[in-house]
Amino acid sequence: MRILPLTSITIATSQPVVLDRDWSSSHPSSSLAEMWSKSQDAEADLSVGVDSIIFSKQQREKNSTSAAKGNCISYDELKELKTEFAISLYHHVSEAGNRTNLVVSPASVAVSLELLQFGAQGNTFTELQESLGYNIHDQSVQDFLQTLYEEVTDSSQGTALQLACSFFVDAGVQLSPRFAARAARWANSSLQQTNLTDPKRTTAQIQEWITSHLGDGDVRGMPLESAGSPLSQVALVTTMYFKCTWQKKFSFMDTQMLPFTTAEGSTLNVPTMHHTAEVNYGQFQTAALEAFSVVELPYLGEKFSMFLVLPSHRRTSLSQIESHLSAKTINLWANSLKRTKMDIFLPRFSIQSLFDLKTVFSALGIRDAFDPITANFKGISGKSSLYISEAIHKAEIEVKEDGTKASGATAMVLLKRSRTPIFKADRPFTFFLRQTNTGSILFIGRVTNPS
């Protein structure tokens, strides 16, 4: 499986900005981690998530108030809030994606919004806080998220998972030392000086940084028009990369061409993987009596797993089932699934999605951040009135057999397993990749046409 999410947020200004000569001369291309704390590198080679946020400077300034510290919140509440954000983001992205294949990385987008919270003030901060559901200044929130992100950089037992962030800052911007110090300690961050008025050079620099962290990250096809504007000041790029083998691998020998009915009703023959394994499985129904099945396919080490949600009847649309997605329902599934020996049929699929997050963020209640008049990011740069001029998210996922041959299981064996329960994803289904102990959803999407 390979996943690549990219998000680009552009921040611009309409006023000249004073260069902090001391910072730029002493740190021409230094990282925040080198300036305040050492960041740890972790190899990863399966999934990539990149969030790029570009800031511009406001034409007018607005008085701000300091963000109030939040009340303590329990880890269980935070787990639920993280899941609710993932589902809410997916619902809004789905509306834009209509009935097509799509994938999005809520974890990657959330990290970008968390970093923005550190520098936001007034109503801009409030909107970011309400969209995520938590206050990043709350120590209990920071403790929970730091634990989560430390585990995200774990590369053990066949799992490679890497989270990294970088601020690409125009030479004329003077960052707040307090903000830079906080960002340096968050999710393996770094600081790169660049010339945002040169979009080709900036894109090449971002691509080089992604490649150095992820091996094969790609920003091609990702529009960065605002990065070439004379108002552009900061580009925030967040990457997440995941690669893991299945706990029980599919065999290439068992992959065969089988029919798949698309969301439009047409039938295609697509490469479909198969194996028989003991998995967590359950059957459910909505309040409207729409039946569906859920199966959990674990990865090696069982720290992560992929959930597949499939309507039981072809007449039931995937959107009818997805409308009931929530943190509570996902927790219910995770706690209710029973260990069952099953025949699993899953189409091999590869999806790439590109979204303009402005509309999505607006639906989530994040509006002031995009307004040159009302945006308040004084915590990032007290001398620069910044606002977000562009927010782009790109994600890719590839699910396949993993290339290792398994013994047994031929077409003849399939006939002998006719009494074994079958999970056959031969019609549109939803998937999400979940961290087992925290419940965090790293990636979520749907397959309506795997060809």
- How high is the pLDDT of residue 411? 21
The model scores a pTM over 0.85 = no
- How high is the pLDDT of residue 132? 95
CB 318 within 8 A of CB 430: yes
CA 389 to chain centre: 21
CA 18 to chain centre: 35
| Full set of structural domains in the chain with CATH | 2-245+351-398 (3.30.497.10), 252-348+404-447 (2.30.39.10)
Residue 201 makes CB contacts below 8 A (sequence gap 6+) with: 194, 195
- How high is the pLDDT of residue 3? 53
Helix (H) or strand (E) holding 107, with range, is: helix 106-119
CB 411 within 8 A of CB 279: no
- How high is the pLDDT of residue 73? 80
The packing angle between helices 106-119 and 122-132, to 10°, is 150
Instruction: Look at residues 318, 373, 413, 311 and name the one whose alpha carbon lies nearest to residue 90.
Output: 318
Write b or e for each residue in 405-422: b if 16 or more Cβ atoms lie within 10 A of its Cβ, otherwise e: eeeebeeeebeeeeeeee
Write b or e for each residue in 81-101: b if 16 or more Cβ atoms lie within 10 A of its Cβ, otherwise e: bbbbbbbbbbbbbbeebebeb
**Which residues of the chain fall short of a pLDDT of 50?**
14-48, 59-70, 217, 228, 403-418
